Amino acid sequence: MIYCLGPRGSYSEIAAKVFSKILGENNIVCCNSIYDVFQYLEGSKGNTYGVVPSENSIEGSVSLTQDLLLEFYPKIRIYGELDININHCLVGYNREKIKRVYSHPQALAQCRKYIKKYGWEVVPVSSTAKAVKLVRSMGSEEVGAIASKEAARLYNLKILEEGIQDYKNNTTRFILIGKKGLKLNLKGEGMKKSTVILKLIEDRPGALYEILKVFNDFKVNLTRIESRPSKEELGNYIFYIDYITPKNEGDLLKELERHVAYIKHLGCYRVFSKS
């Protein structure tokens, strides 16, 4: 079974469908929130997976997913990642009559310039697919939604314009998560990446520099470094780091441990592509 962030027609469901082919798991269940995906997984048995958004090329990381990866550690791990192109569409009845547009706050932010051009009022809702459903149920020419082509088709609404995001290179990264200890049955060899969360020993000028020196000494290529609040006080951070997994990862982790307050290894996983 694969739990994903719903409702049906969401970009998460599109990603879950790709993973479903790779894993040979046909049962996709759409959940109400990212939190629910984590919680259902925690109580699951056997080969059960989750698919949630982790990062977008325009808006940056999805904070809730990052926070929950820490909260549910060590029970939940990362098993894969997949990038999906985001192609926002204006969905509704008549572009010239629209006064209000509904969508998820990230989608509204990604189409900020387009919306500004028409001077529409924006109404944030919990997902892009829900926005389409809402506009469908209102049945008024004065409202529109911003969502995927798939969501428009699902709820039988017209696509008024495609590719309306401000930046054309708009990609969202989804991660495949599951309980610790799952065995994926995958053919061939692909690039492997790892994710760690670490906290520096204390706030001193060179603390982060020391950590990066270790990665540099091991000639390991970082693909993401992100600071998140430690939630203890403002100016106190933890770091999320993704890197191409080296053969001697055990040694790298041992050396890193000597320089940090804690380090949590969220997984070493395959990077998948859509086709």
Contacting residues toward a second copy, per CB under 8 A: 35, 55-60, 63-64, 83, 105, 109, 112, 116, 122, 124-126, 167, 169, 171, 173, 203-206, 208-209, 212-213, 215-216, 219-229, 231-237
Q: How far is the CB of 158 from a second copy (least distance, A)?
A: 26
Smallest separation, CB 166 to a second copy (Å)? 9
Cβ pair 2, 82 in contact under 8 A: no
Paired residues of 106 in beta bridges: none
Contacts of 207 (CB under 8 A, 6+ apart): 200, 201
Is the Cβ of residue 167 or residue 262 nearer to a second copy in the bound state?
167
CB 108 → a second copy: shortest distance, Å? Answer: 10
Q: Which is nearer to a second copy, 58 or 159 (CB)?
A: 58
Residue closer to a second copy, measured from CB, 94 or 171: 171
| Cβ 216 to a second copy shortest distance, Å | 5
Cβ closest to a second copy, residue 47 vs residue 61: 61
Minimum distance, C-beta of residue 244 to a second copy, in the bound complex (Å): 9
For a second copy, give the closer residue by CB, 47 or 224: 224
